[in-house]
Amino acid sequence: MNDLIFLALCFLLDFVVEALFSSDPAMVGFIAVPSCAFFGMLLLVRGKNWVNGIYWAFLVGCCSDFFAMNRSLDLALLFILSALIMRGWEKHLSSSLFEQMILLLSTLFIKEALLYLCWLAGGSFQMSLMTWLLHRCIPTILLNLVLVVVVLEIMDWKQEADARKERNKRREESLFWKKFK
């Protein structure tokens, strides 16, 4: 499966969940922001080198900014910073499902905290930290507890499809060389 198809599936899952759980732009009620594309980007960055990882983080961040109608590229820069933080943390964890969930959810928490600081520094946003945590951060993490498992499952399907494609390619190459022996 191509990386773009994987990210498109993650964005599609974000759109479906966002349609089911509408958000309150005034932040009076609870806001749960799906982050499937963010998780997909983090999972793609794990398997790439630094330059490609930054490229993919910036690309997914720009798309997220576009879909959120954000003109300041906040998410693009935060996605790059989150990917770099995650790359530093991933060296200390194995690849079990629980540890991957902890890694992705803790990186989401860091992204949300940096987003709060970014919006607070911009001056057009005034909200206490407790209100931010109760109305946006905690509901977002609780919603994404379920979504992270779905994205990890889609990533497993992608890796299986890539491995199957590679096996078929190697089988065809070996058959090609057997013809000329």
- What pTM was computed for the model? 0.86
Mean pLDDT of 142-148: 94
Mean pLDDT of 42-70: 89
| pLDDT class of 70 with cuts at 50, 70, 90 | confident
Q: Which of 111, 172, 147, 103 is nearest to 11 (CA)?
A: 147
Instruction: Note the pLDDT tens digit of each residue in 4-39.
Output: 999 999 999 999 998 887 776 666 678 888 999 999
Q: Name the more confident of 78 and 92.
A: 78
For CA atoms 135, 39, 41, 50, give the dihedral sign.
positive
The ranges assigned to domains in the chain are 2-178
Q: How far apart are CA 73 and CA 152, in angstroms?
A: 27
Mean pLDDT of the chain: 86
| pLDDT class of 41 with cuts at 50, 70, 90 | very high
Residue range 2-178 in CATH 1.10.1760: yes
37 CB burial (10 A radius; 0-12, 13-18, 19+)? buried
For CA atoms 104, 35, 60, 65, give the dihedral sign.
negative
